[in-house]
Structure 1
Amino acid sequence: MNPVEVDTARRTGGCPVAHGPLSSERTPTGCPVSQRAADFDPFEDGYQQDPPEYVRWAREQEPIFWSPKLNYWVVTRYDDIKAIFRDNITFSPAIALEKITPTGEEANAVLASYGFALNRTLVNEDEPAHMPRRRALMHSFIPEELKHHEPMVRELAREYVDRFIDDGRADLVDQMLWEIPLTVALHFLGVPEEDMDTLRKYSIAHTVNTWGRPKPEEQVAVAHAVGNFWQYAGKVLDKMRENPEGGGWMQYGLRRQRELPEVVTDSYLHSMMMAGIVAAHETTANATANAMKLLLQHPDVWREVCEDPSLIPNAVEECLRHNGSVAAWRRIVTSDAQVGGVDLPAGSKLLIVTSSANHDEGHFADADLFDIRRDNASDHLTFGYGSHQCMGKNLARMEMQIFLEEFARRLPHMRLAPQKFSYVPNTSFRGPEHLWVEWDPNQNPERTQPALRHVDEPVPVRIGEPSKGAITRPVVVESVTPVAEGIVKLRLVAPDGRAMPRWAAGSHIDIECGHPDLSRQYSLCGDPADAHALEIAVLREPAGRGGSEWVHAHVKAGDKLKIRGPRNHFHLDESTRKAIFIAGGIGITPVSAMARRAKELGIDYELHYSGRSRETMAFLDELSALHGERLQVHASSEGQRNDLAALLATPDADTQVYACGPVRMLKALEAHCAHWPEDALHVEHFESTLGTLDPSQEHAFEVELKDSGITVPVRADQTVLSALRAANIDVQSDCEEGLCGSCEVRVLAGKVDHRDVVLTRAEREAGTKMMACCSRACDGRLVLEL
């Protein structure tokens, strides 16, 4: 097609593609649509079984394509989909609940006979109406308000497992995972727990009617079920009006209606009643079924979860990423736009395949790998993103964590039974219709440990996105070797002999020092090429915070430890022409790995190592053998001190300075590098300068969340991080001392009072990022990209 033909085709409803041929293959129409795009059909079994795999070709070769079968553009990559979620004005959610398969006149007449008039809901409403309603109704979803549902969910999970634990075989979907989320959904909404089987049929009919492809002969039956669902929702709402002070979200909505009658209308509440039952029930049931299927398909991972329940919160996030219950969402383009270099004309309909985004190698390393310790698993888009992100996400997380905990404690020997998995054909929501599992009842742990049925102190549910600090990895201490006076080297290996995580020079790990609340960071000092082990060196510091004392007093070869990481906030620029490495005392640990890497890459470098005496300086012989004359030893006992003023007297734009050591040394380095180019100096801190937050010395301010469309107040006695979490906003964290960089957020406007030790001078001056755990606003407002 030439440009004129393309424009004509757009206006007449034909092919809208305006960016030229995408492959040498053409569809029968001759349009520039690749053959695979022309063949795309989300109702095929391949898509139902594994949506990310079904569109892998698109993610890798044609990330945005036109589907003639659907008359939709299909978007498959992470960054493109997140950009669409960010802009809910250009990319309207108005079609999110539109029937993807138009139904016939008879079915439409049936719906009309029931008075079916599903209106806008939080899912498909445009601005300016959407955010006022969302703000009015979101209070019930904040973590603090969700806590009182936890005991009920635990008791339900326990009771349902009781029903089949001695059978040796169960369909987890039919016998537990469908009913409990429906019960919880009804309880949360305040709906009487009646007619559950009927509601299940209604819920499935709603999914098929909206996102499925019912056959002509099925459409009328589906329409009757949806019509009955609509009338049921209306009757329950009318009954609730008789008891306006009752519990549940819908009762809360009725009370808000009295305060905001123009915002919370009758038709809106009726639509939310019906949509809420589906949203709070079906997606959680499917997500848990998908998670259990995935875990049992990876027996080694399931065993780890059973042995260490603290892994469950992040395992839930990884299950939601790898095999979530929401495969895709829909948007409509309101004005001509461009995404990923592809022109999208106004009126274009988009199928945004979030499950594909969750497998995008550009955002998730080894994206197809199921890794329950993945430190960015919760970046997944299964809950959406921005102002239309699922408000019930933390209720779903709570239920999934409790279900996994119950199974792990009482049925750790459970396995998948041979079966073929089937799914209700639709574009957007997926979970196996049945999930058969088997086990030997004679091996049920509670037969010998009856207390396992009821645990007085269960694993605390993380209501909200899990912190990186919750992700531990078991290791075995292969050896403990003295390497200097007061310093021991620990060599850590995997219990099963598998390879250890990959790491780069400058990385560190966290070790739980006898208790989860006592965690300390130690730089890796071995060879990154050694895949078998991680090595750290620990200096005994009697006046320290307890970690090093515990290591020296208690750790011995053969012990099992829990670590987190590796993580790296002290990166070596491998493109630099020259590097000056400066280490003081135990600060040699990250610097030694950096110097090793510089030598491998052929970078011009020099290594300066300072200490009280050679006897107190680790790895001297090894460093001397490896670096020769490039190593300069500055031992105070020998009168040798590193003359930083002379060393750094002449700035060099092609030289980077990397340093780790005592705070006094690092402060001196900052002073001596003040005349060097910005960001020439890179330092690693292991001590926080933060004191306890003193409300009398702070001021309150606001943070506007650009992507979410809300403004969150931050009290004088509150960190930005805690205020965001209280408002149901996901932000990761770890140390919460301004040391690790985990809670970094992007700043769009406002002046930041930086209090971390992570950002460089230039990064602070740029003012485009901050650490939410400690930094604050200089004045009254910040605008964040959240």
Structure 2
Amino acid sequence: MSDATEPNRVGQCPFHQAVAQDAPLTPTGCPVSPRASAFDPFEDGYQQDPPEYVRWAREQEPVFYSPKLGYWVVTRYDDIKAVFRDNLTFSPSIALEKITPTGPEANAVLASYGYAMNRTLVNEDEPAHMPRRRALMEPFTPEALKQHEPLVRRLAREYVDRFIDDGHADLVDQMLWEVPLTVALHFLGVPEEDMDMLRQYSIAHTVNTWGRPQPHEQVQVARAVGKFWQFAGKVLEKMREDPGNPGWMQYGIRKQKALPEVVTDSYLHSMMMAGIVAAHETTANATANALKLLLEHPDAWRDLCEDPSLIPNAVEECLRHNGSIAAWRRLATKDVTIGGVDIPAGAKLLIVTSSANHDERRFDDADCFDIRRDNAGDHLTFGYGAHQCMGKNLARMEMQILLDEFTRRLPHMRLAKQRFTYVPNTSFRGPEHLCVEWDPMLNPERADRAALTPRAAVRIGEPSAQAVTRTVTIASIDQAAHDIIRIRLEAPDGRALPRWTPGAHIDVECGSAGLLRQYSLCGDPMDARAFEIAVLREPNSRGGSAWLHAHAKVGLSLRIRGPRNHFRFDEQARKAIFVAGGIGITPISAMAHRAKALGLDYELHYSGRSRASMVLLDELVQQHGARLHLYVSQEGTRNTLDALRVEPGTPVYACGPARLLDALELASAAWPADSLRIERFASVLTPLDHTHDQAFEVELEDSALQLTVPAGQTLLGVLRKHNVDVPSGCEEGLCGSCEVHVLAGEVEHRDAVLSKSERESNTRMMACCSRAKGGKLVLEL
């Protein structure tokens, strides 16, 4: 994304130049395509499945203008994340603006109630936003949220008690609205008032802001919103009488005394009303969506019932696949380019985050629902950057506890036959009803009272990648080359495995001690029946390859994690060059297989000591013919790299021993910038000593935060305390899960993941162990 120098003209439009002569035009003069002209977020198709409704746009026209809405619509992950990152160019000021302007009669009703909704954390610009966010953040930190866990567990049990012997329930009406509302009121410090009244207020607020109420409905909606405003004001005044009580609003009142210019009266009144909605409606909808999704996927539901350790990651995948936030809105403050489309200053944007969460460019097999998905937490349901949802970890905690309660006490629950309906609006979505049924005679607690005891520990914050495992069975083992075995892994119950992209790897637990080793996938990425890896017996094995060579046999069960991919193949390139040495052919072979399937121009260079040691050799010869160039040391041939002709736009993918990759890095100095992309077998450096830690400062550019990392504390720990999500796994610098991007400053690397050249580039670090060499780092967070 970059600033536009001039607006689009019709002849320069990046999409749909061949539309009809009488097609409507965008504000920049581009013709609007038929699909863009027809886009209507209030249609049932969008309400039922927003990502599917805009699939055409995500694939063909990722940024388009909607004449019906008067908004530019953004649908791809990278574009939407870039919008979230820059809240100066893309102002949040219209996030709570009525998407459908109301008439004079409804406006008069609102005025009669003194309705004066002001800016809140959601729609406030800088420089006002960040001081208020910092002032009010502490109650949302993981440490502070722990105190609310007992209440959520008690409510979950009490509400399930009410209907567990009935054999049927509407979970929205009977539980999923009231429990999050009760928690929200408790968190805010608001007395528990009439639940039904507040539910109607919240729905009215949603329709008033993001919906399309008809003229005859607007007055009724306005009346409910006005009453909601007055209710919020009365509660706030009562709180002022005794601000020492617990609750976020009382916390704000106390902060007002210290920071009267930051936490103002009008701000507190607006936050009271917005907070009641934000703190419960999204969580209620998200939990209903999650249960619906899980019950529609019986295998995933059964896995959760059997293994509660999967619940935290399942929550993230539910939020990614079918979250409660369909879209957000932003206002362009200057001319800018998004996804190749010039957007004029003053343009309104509908950024469809639910579409971003289904973007294949970010999530492999994005439409597949996989509760073990390695990067599920990368979803944008909570937003990103300085305006990311402050209450995200409260929502995660509630969802985890509710899923634990249902999987433990009603594992035999199933969806009843029904048609799901949604309140028509652009942004918030959850089923209005969720009817389920079960046989009460099969309730586990009737036979075993232990079913009443919670099983799953709550993880407040981003889930740990280390806990997300799946069991696979060795289906076959072949001697693929000298000292190399090829292992085919399948799901024990025969179900499909997640699809993966070339360059991906899996982590394999080797032995009972939990030794974890990474192996690249080398089969067909389109084969959902199995994963294939090739394992070289290393003479100086650290235990992984030696264990597999000694113990692997058909029928053996293994626990794996992933697949994950840090070595992605760009399918949009016109040509690609692949270079591999020895066992490094495993990820490269999958890339070459995919390049051939796509009809791309490519060449494959493969080096080895002898033909007998070169795994996959026969099938590579058969598949790639003249495109395959072999270099066999035993036969006197060697890849000197002189044959490589690297043109602009031609990426070079390489994997192999350090000597080959070091030579490629030297050669790449004469190639076009950023042509070389490598994956090393292992880090060439060892972790550094931790005994001389110094405190350092970090600036989080995207979140507009300045933090101090004290001596004796990790960057990862400090980020968590300030509600900044960073995935993690081993937390020892071994797995690479907590990698963050460095924009400025020098890093003292203490991990065992990055190569020498990666360390020297100073653009990446592991948050769990590495630190600043100087006094400060600037991070892309």
Q: Do they superpose with TM above 0.5?
A: yes
**1:301 and 1:401 mapped to 2: Cα distance?**
15
Within 5 A, what are the aligned runs for 1:160-179? Answer: 160-179=159-178
**1:336 and 1:671 mapped to 2: Cα distance?**
44
Residue 115 to residue 366, structure 1, CA distance change in 2 (3 Å): same
**1:572 and 1:38 mapped to 2: Cα distance?**
34
**1:83 and 1:738 mapped to 2: Cα distance?**
28
**2:314 and 2:125 mapped to 1: Cα distance?**
34
Residue 692 to residue 175, structure 1, CA distance change in 2 (3 Å): farther
Partner of 1:765: 760
**1:277 and 1:325 mapped to 2: Cα distance?**
16
Within the candidate set 718, 733, 738, 1:723 is matched to 718
**1:147 and 1:295 mapped to 2: Cα distance?**
26
Partner of 2:624: none
Within the candidate set 469, 489, 492, 2:489 is matched to 492
- State whether structure 2 residue 461 is matched by structure 1 residue 464: yes
Shift in Å, 1:428? 0.9
- State whether structure 2 residue 562 is matched by structure 1 residue 561: no
Q: 1:111, 1:226 within 8 Å by CA — same for their partners in 2?
A: yes
Residue 761 to residue 191, structure 1, CA distance change in 2 (3 Å): same
Q: Which moved more, 1:351-360 or 1:520-529?
A: 520-529
Within the candidate set 728, 744, 751, 1:749 is matched to 744
**2:680 and 2:547 mapped to 1: Cα distance?**
26
**1:687 and 1:302 mapped to 2: Cα distance?**
42
Query: Once the two structures are superposed, what CA deviation does each residue of 1:390-420 show, in whole Å capped at 9, x if it has no partner?
Result: 1111111111111112111111111111111
Residue 271 to residue 214, structure 1, CA distance change in 2 (3 Å): same
Residue 175 to residue 675, structure 1, CA distance change in 2 (3 Å): closer
Partner of 1:581: 581
**2:273 and 2:357 mapped to 1: Cα distance?**
29
Residue 444 to residue 777, structure 1, CA distance change in 2 (3 Å): same
Residue 540 to residue 158, structure 1, CA distance change in 2 (3 Å): farther
Shift in Å, 1:609? 8.0
Residue 168 to residue 762, structure 1, CA distance change in 2 (3 Å): same
**2:40 and 2:614 mapped to 1: Cα distance?**
64
- State whether structure 2 residue 387 is matched by structure 1 residue 406: no
Partner of 2:702: 707
- State whether structure 2 residue 514 is matched by structure 1 residue 518: yes
The one-letter code matched in structure 2 to 1:113 is S
**1:262 and 1:410 mapped to 2: Cα distance?**
50
Q: Which moved more, 1:598-607 or 1:426-435?
A: 598-607
Shift in Å, 1:534? 3.6
- SS of the counterpart of 2:320? helix
- State whether structure 2 residue 686 is matched by structure 1 residue 685: no
TM-score, structure 2 normalization: 0.84
Q: 1:280, 1:392 within 8 Å by CA — same for their partners in 2?
A: yes
- State whether structure 2 residue 390 is matched by structure 1 residue 391: yes
Q: 2:23, 2:32 within 8 Å by CA — same for their partners in 1?
A: no
- SS of the counterpart of 1:237? helix
- SS of the counterpart of 1:74? strand
Within the candidate set 527, 530, 533, 1:532 is matched to 530
**1:330 and 1:597 mapped to 2: Cα distance?**
38
**2:267 and 2:203 mapped to 1: Cα distance?**
22
Shift in Å, 1:743? 2.4
Identity across aligned pairs (percent)? 64
The one-letter code matched in structure 2 to 1:60 is E
Within 5 A, what are the aligned runs for 1:248-263? Answer: 248-263=247-262
Q: 1:500, 1:534 within 8 Å by CA — same for their partners in 2?
A: no
**2:401 and 2:505 mapped to 1: Cα distance?**
32
- State whether structure 2 residue 285 is matched by structure 1 residue 286: yes
Shift in Å, 1:470? 2.5
**2:738 and 2:25 mapped to 1: Cα distance?**
51
Question: Matched residue pairs, number?
Answer: 738
Partner of 1:637: none
Partner of 1:639: none
Q: 2:39, 2:68 within 8 Å by CA — same for their partners in 1?
A: yes
- State whether structure 2 residue 232 is matched by structure 1 residue 233: yes
Q: Which moved more, 1:70-79 or 1:532-541?
A: 532-541
Within 5 A, what are the aligned runs for 1:329-340? Answer: 329-340=328-339
Q: Which moved more, 1:492-501 or 1:168-177?
A: 492-501
Aligned Cα root-mean-square deviation (Å): 3.9
Q: Which moved more, 1:184-193 or 1:99-108?
A: 99-108
Q: 1:322, 1:359 within 8 Å by CA — same for their partners in 2?
A: yes
The structure having more radius of gyration, on CA atoms, is 1
Partner of 1:608: 609
**2:605 and 2:536 mapped to 1: Cα distance?**
29
Q: 2:110, 2:226 within 8 Å by CA — same for their partners in 1?
A: yes
Residue 218 to residue 161, structure 1, CA distance change in 2 (3 Å): same
Q: 1:508, 1:521 within 8 Å by CA — same for their partners in 2?
A: no
Q: 1:690, 1:737 within 8 Å by CA — same for their partners in 2?
A: no
Residue 66 to residue 185, structure 1, CA distance change in 2 (3 Å): same
Shift in Å, 1:569? 4.9
Partner of 1:585: none
Shift in Å, 1:647? 8.1
TM-score, structure 1 normalization: 0.84
Within the candidate set 769, 772, 776, 1:777 is matched to 772
Shift in Å, 1:620? 5.8
Shift in Å, 1:28? 7.3
Q: 2:631, 2:638 within 8 Å by CA — same for their partners in 1?
A: no
**2:449 and 2:511 mapped to 1: Cα distance?**
28
Shift in Å, 1:175? 0.7
Shift in Å, 1:447? 1.7
Q: 1:143, 1:464 within 8 Å by CA — same for their partners in 2?
A: yes
**1:277 and 1:262 mapped to 2: Cα distance?**
23
Shift in Å, 1:92? 1.0
Shift in Å, 1:776? 1.9
Residue 325 to residue 568, structure 1, CA distance change in 2 (3 Å): closer
- SS of the counterpart of 1:304? helix
Residue 254 to residue 727, structure 1, CA distance change in 2 (3 Å): same
Residue 324 to residue 525, structure 1, CA distance change in 2 (3 Å): closer
Shift in Å, 1:38? 2.7
Partner of 2:470: 473
Residue 688 to residue 255, structure 1, CA distance change in 2 (3 Å): farther
**2:685 and 2:195 mapped to 1: Cα distance?**
54
Query: Once the two structures are superposed, what CA deviation does each residue of 1:116-156 show, in whole Å capped at 9, x if it has no partner?
Result: 11111000111110000001001111111111211211121
**2:707 and 2:364 mapped to 1: Cα distance?**
33
**1:746 and 1:483 mapped to 2: Cα distance?**
38
**1:107 and 1:230 mapped to 2: Cα distance?**
15
The one-letter code matched in structure 2 to 1:401 is Q
Partner of 1:616: none
Within the candidate set 20, 45, 51, 1:25 is matched to 20
- SS of the counterpart of 1:359? coil
The one-letter code matched in structure 1 to 2:342 is D
- SS of the counterpart of 1:565? strand
Q: Which moved more, 1:441-450 or 1:503-512?
A: 503-512
The one-letter code matched in structure 2 to 1:98 is E
Shift in Å, 1:753? 2.3
Shift in Å, 1:207? 0.8
User: Which residues of structure 2 form unaligned runs of 5+?
Assistant: 1-5, 597-601, 622-629, 645-651, 670-675
Q: 1:524, 1:535 within 8 Å by CA — same for their partners in 2?
A: yes
Within 5 A, what are the aligned runs for 1:213-362? Answer: 213-362=212-361
Within 5 A, what are the aligned runs for 1:612-651? Answer: none
**2:590 and 2:195 mapped to 1: Cα distance?**
64
**2:109 and 2:619 mapped to 1: Cα distance?**
82
Q: Which moved more, 1:494-503 or 1:523-532?
A: 523-532
User: Which residues of structure 1 form unaligned runs of 5+?
Assistant: 1-5, 583-587, 611-618, 635-642, 661-665
Query: Once the two structures are superposed, what CA deviation does each residue of 1:337-356 show, in whole Å capped at 9, x if it has no partner?
Result: 22222222222222222112
Query: Once the two structures are superposed, what CA deviation does each residue of 1:643-677 show, in whole Å capped at 9, x if it has no partner?
Result: 9xx989x77584997445xxxxx6x8899999665
